[in-house]
Amino acid sequence: MTNQSHKTSVTNNLKLFSEAQQASLYVAHQIANLINEKEKQGKPAVLGLATGNTPKGVYQELIRLHQNEALSFKNVISFNLDEYYPILPDDQQSYTYFMRQFLFKHVDIKPEHTHIPHTDFSEEGIAQYCQEYEDKIESLGGLDLQLLGIGRNGHIGFNEPGSSFESKTRLVHLNSVTREDAKAAFGSMDKVPQKAISIGVDTISKAKKIILLALGKRKSDIMKLAIHGDVTTQVPASILQTLPQAEFVLDHGAAGEIKS
């Protein structure tokens, strides 16, 4: 694929909003439309979900749609991108806790339909566990939609710079930028885990639809690189330039460094 065709595909797949809230509502409605569409077809909606500050507004709107507009999650099967290792599901910094707080406890999703990488076992069992996570996604026909945030270092999930584009679900080492950004949540740097389980770049790339949401000025430098820079494993999100099913959704702050 030539560089020029990357640019064309990116321009077509870029949505800019002046406010973060508008961007979040747009993404939430894309997800809700997919859930309703799948329900009409009598099929489950298989969603890849993300954590962090970025998707909170999306989840807030999905909760509102559930409470006020009868959006049901009973047909949703979810797979989260990643989880720290080691961590306990009840720890407040865990993504299991996050998903419960910011989405699951407010909607009618069946607990047995939610999947978040579990880490309450020895490191030796992890490779097999990761393979099973992949197999489960594949047995459902793959992810219908993957929601992504982006790290300041360009990571998607916990696929840090240098992650192979062929990578699958696995145990990863967290990059120093990622650990620095997690410091506030954990209280101090020595409490931030060194490792995590993350689905792979390849796992993400196979989703039928991918939405990367980036909000705020602190994401503007990395968004410029992800959208207009080289496609390189040093900026994992840059792979999305080559995927026609990927969409970048940015607010004014995150789009600050992007040429019109």
Can you read off the two tokens belonging to residue 152? Answer: 């300041």
Least Å distance between CB 100 and ligand PGA? 17
Catalytic residue among 6, 13, 82, 144: 82
Catalytic residue among 155, 175, 247, 251: 155
Least Å distance between CB 54 and ligand PGA? 3
In contact, 93 and 87? CB cutoff 8 Å: yes
- Annotated active-site residue 190? The verdict is no
Nearest to 160 by CA among 190, 130, 128, 195: 195
Judged by beta carbon, residue 71 or residue 254, the one nearer ligand PGA is 254
Q: Is 52 in the site for ligand PGA (CB under 6 A)?
A: yes
Q: Is 101 in the site for ligand PGA (CB under 6 A)?
A: no
Least Å distance between CB 212 and ligand PGA? 9
Distances (CA, A) of 14 to 40, 161, 210, 251: 29, 23, 12, 11
d(CA 189, CA 223): 26
Judged by beta carbon, residue 59 or residue 73, the one nearer ligand PGA is 59
Judged by beta carbon, residue 55 or residue 109, the one nearer ligand PGA is 55
Judged by beta carbon, residue 52 or residue 86, the one nearer ligand PGA is 52
Distances (CA, A) of 22 to 18, 29, 76, 89, 252: 7, 11, 24, 32, 11
Tell me which residues in 149-178 interact with ligand PGA (CB under 6 A).
Answer: 149-151
Least Å distance between CB 151 and ligand PGA? 4
Distances (CA, A) of 164 to 102, 113, 255: 31, 29, 27
**The dihedral of CA 118, 121, 127, 129: what is its sign?**
negative
Please tell me the count of residues contacting ligand PGA according to CB under 6 A: 6
Judged by beta carbon, residue 54 or residue 94, the one nearer ligand PGA is 54
- Annotated active-site residue 153? The verdict is yes
Least Å distance between CB 254 and ligand PGA? 10
| 3-class state of residue 219 by DSSP | helix
Catalytic residue among 80, 153, 159, 175: 153
d(CA 168, CA 234): 17
Tell me which residues in 112-151 interact with ligand PGA (CB under 6 A).
Answer: 149-151
Nearest to 204 by CA among 176, 242, 175: 242
Q: Where are the beta strands (DSSP E) in the chain?
A: 14-17, 45-49, 76-80, 82-85, 114-115, 145-148, 170-173, 195-198, 210-214, 246-251
- Annotated active-site residue 134? The verdict is no
Q: Is 253 in the site for ligand PGA (CB under 6 A)?
A: no
Catalogue the active-site residues. 82, 153, 155, 160
**Footprint of ligand PGA on this chain (CB under 6 A)?**
52-54, 149-151
